[in-house]
Structure formats: C-alpha cells, structure tokens
Amino acid sequence: MNLVDSFADTSRFVALRRDIHMHPELGFEEHRTSQLVAERLREWEIEVHTGIAGTGVVGVLRQGSGKRSIGLRADLDALPLQEENHFAHRSQHDGRMHACGHDGHTTMLLAAAWHLAKARDFDGTVNFIFQPAEEMGKAGALKMVQEGLFERFPCEAVFALHNFAVPTGTFAVNPGPLMASSNTWKIVMHGRGTHASQPHTGVDPVAAVIDLGQQLQTLVAKVIPSTERALLAVTQIQGSVAPNVIPDEAWVGGTVRTFSVEATDKIEAGIRRLAEGIAAAHGCRAEPSFRRASPPVVNHAREAQFAADAMREVVGAANVDDQYPAVMAAEDFAHMLRVKPGCYAFIGNGDGGHRLPEHGPGPCIIHNTSFDFNDEIIPIGASYFVRLAQKWLART
C-alpha cells in the first residue's frame, strides 16, 4: 500500500472522526459539523465559504498559476436512528446517529485538505465540497447545484467516495451506472367509511389498497425488459386506526429504483394506470403521487478510469475492482454528476472487525444501528483524494 507519508500518524483525524460521530446532525441542521469543518479549513489557511445550501461548506485551495480545477466532495449529515453501540464515542443525541459513515467521509476529505494545504505540491485549484442533507431524500447536492455551486467554484470534474461493506484496503468502481435512482410513491384510495360489521353500507378503500399492493409486485416484470435491472418495493400500508372501522381512505406506498430515466417513466406510468383501474374496480377514487428524489449515479467513463488509476497508486491493482456491479442503493451525488463529469466510488469499510467492544448486536453495514466507520481507512481514503488532486491538476 502506497499511502501519503503525512498519514503515517492519523490519530488527530481519528479523534476528529469520533468527535463528529458523537454529535450527529440531520440534514440541513449540521451547524456544529459545518462550523467544525470551517474552523479546521481556516486553521490550515484554506479559503472558506459557508452557508451554501444552508449548512454546506466549500474550501478553496489555490496553488501556482495553473488553470485546472477539481472538486472533491464529502457529505455531512447523519440519520434519524437510535444508536445501539455503547463505546465511548457513541452518539450523545438520542434518535440521531452517524449510521452511514458520513463522519468518516468528512474526516477523510479534511485529512486530504490538511495535507494539500501543507505540502502545496500541485498547480491549480482544489475545491473541497462539504455537502449537507444527503440522506432521507433531502437532496442537498441538488440544492448546492441550484445555488450556483459550480458557477462560484468552477470544477472541471468532481469526485466522491462512500464506505461500503467490501474488504478493508480495497476500492470498487465502474465506468457507468453505479447506484440506482431513488423514487418514492404513494397511492391514497378514497372510499366511504362505515362500521366494519356493515361493509355493504360503505366503500372499502382498504380492500382496494390490498389489491393494488399485490398487483404492483409484478409491475416491473410487465413494463421493464428482462435485460434491465429495476425494483419496485411495497413498504408501507395504512388503513383504519380502529379494528371495527372501515375508513374513508387508506394508502399504500414504497420505493422504486432504476438505472435510467426511461425505466422510471415506465414504472411511474404503470403505477398510475394500476391505481386508477383498481380504484374503479372497487368503486374508489385513487390519488397517486410519485416523487423522484435523485437520479441514478452514472459515472463518466473517462473520469472513472482516471479514478481507478489513482486508486491503484494507493492500494495496488489487485485491490481495485473497476467493474463493480451496480447496486440498488441511491446517492444524491447523482445531481452533481448530471452537470459535471466525475466519478463516485466505494472504499472498503470491512466486515465490522474494527469495532470497539460494546458495539451493538447488528452487522456493520450502513443504515444499521450497530454501524461504525472504520478508522483504519481514513489514511486510505485521504491518500486517494490527494492523489486525485495531484494527478488531475498535473495533466496537460
């Protein structure tokens, strides 16, 4: 492994990561985290811009007369989960937890900023982008873009990392779709409520919702070619709040994941068509809604190859999978990739063996209440960001 020499001792960044983990903040509420990031960047004499998309921070580091530029992005927010770990750096706030490793992502990018500010071994501009509100469909990336992120801080390309349950010391990437789009749907069925003992006096929306939920299970196979990957999951259903009441309305909802806008269009149309047909069959009125939270994460081939080359310099060719299969999880970094070339990639977080005693009983996978970021990979991710910046700005 060929790590940047500055990261032989990362104790300061381990302490920083654990401090962030102890104080998780939800999307667009990352005030303490943003302040911490801004303070560190200023300490290292990096130009700091705050208040972007509310709690976003951008650090700008210029060196020499080079005109080239690069964007490196990390996410700041936590999840609304109750942490089950009980080690010393567990969350100090009930109902909030860094269960996706954004504390580690922020720390890796800060470590890279620290080294580059100290070494100044590049020619051009590095933009360190600390994004709020990646989780829960809040689309902090889109808000940053809409507020002029790339007009204010020009980037020829933009890159980001996410920890993943692959072996420590490895990277995974591919030159095309890496993660799916995230879409949520909900259909409210309006009927006419009555006492459950006299269903003939009302119009039962619960029966319509149950029928619809079953029919939706086969929709993808009917509208998406078998050569494509797509997913529709029914995850929510709500009827009456009392066992002896047929309600006026009931609803069913869930998520849709696809790798193309065309597939999303077909599934949305199918949901609306089924909702209307089943509502009519039950004498109900359907009220469908479909929200497109983020598009698929589609890497740009040239930048993905460039990123893979940088990874190989850090961990060796044998530890880089540059044809990793796309996953159904979603990431709002997709919004940045729609307006700028770039690459999103996974860094191995391991299987959980790194966790301290008194960790929770669950697996060490993202969005689990027993998750903890692997501090051993801080120098690996930071070295990757450093190599990206050096290599990109050195190109002719």
Q: What is the pLDDT of residues 291-333, one digit of tens each?
A: 998 999 999 999 999 999 999 999 999 999 999 999 999 999 9
Residues 314 and 326 in one domain: yes
User: Quick check: 234 pLDDT over 90?
Assistant: yes
pLDDT of residue 395: 79
- Which residues does 275 contact at the CB level (< 8 Å), separation at least 6? 187, 212, 286, 288
Q: What is the pLDDT of residues 7-27, one digit of tens each?
A: 999 999 999 999 999 999 999
Domain that holds residue 279: 182-294
User: Quick check: 183 pLDDT over 80?
Assistant: yes
Instruction: Pick the last residue of a domain from 294, 323, 357.
Output: 294
What is the pLDDT averaged over residues 187-191? 98
Q: How far apart are the first and last CA of the chain?
A: 27
Residues 255 and 343 in one domain: no
**Helix axes 378-394 and 102-119, enclosed angle (nearest 10):** 50
User: Quick check: 206 pLDDT over 90?
Assistant: yes
Residues 214 and 359 in one domain: no
User: Quick check: 34 pLDDT over 90?
Assistant: yes
Residues 46 and 161 in one domain: yes
* Counted domains in the chain: 2
What is the pLDDT averaged over residues 21-49? 98
Q: What is the pLDDT of residues 112-149, one digit of tens each?
A: 999 999 999 999 999 999 999 999 889 999 999 999 99
What CATH number did the domain enclosing 244 receive?
3.30.70.360
| pTM of the entire predicted model | 0.93
pLDDT of residue 118: 97
Residues 308 and 172 in one domain: yes
Which strands make up the sheet holding 56-63, listed edge to edge? 47-52, 56-63, 124-131, 69-75, 158-164, 342-348, 171-172, 320-321
What CATH number did the domain enclosing 360 receive?
3.40.630.10
Tokens of 350: 């391991």
Q: Is the Cβ–Cβ distance between 325 and 337 less than 8 Å?
A: no
Residues 13 and 141 in one domain: yes
Which SS3 state, helix, strand or coil, does residue 310 take? helix
Residues 348 and 289 in one domain: no
Instruction: Pick the last residue of a domain from 259, 277, 294.
Output: 294
Residues 95 and 227 in one domain: no
Q: How far apart are CA 83 and CA 79, in angstroms?
A: 10
pLDDT of residue 137: 87
Instruction: Pick the last residue of a domain from 236, 265, 294.
Output: 294
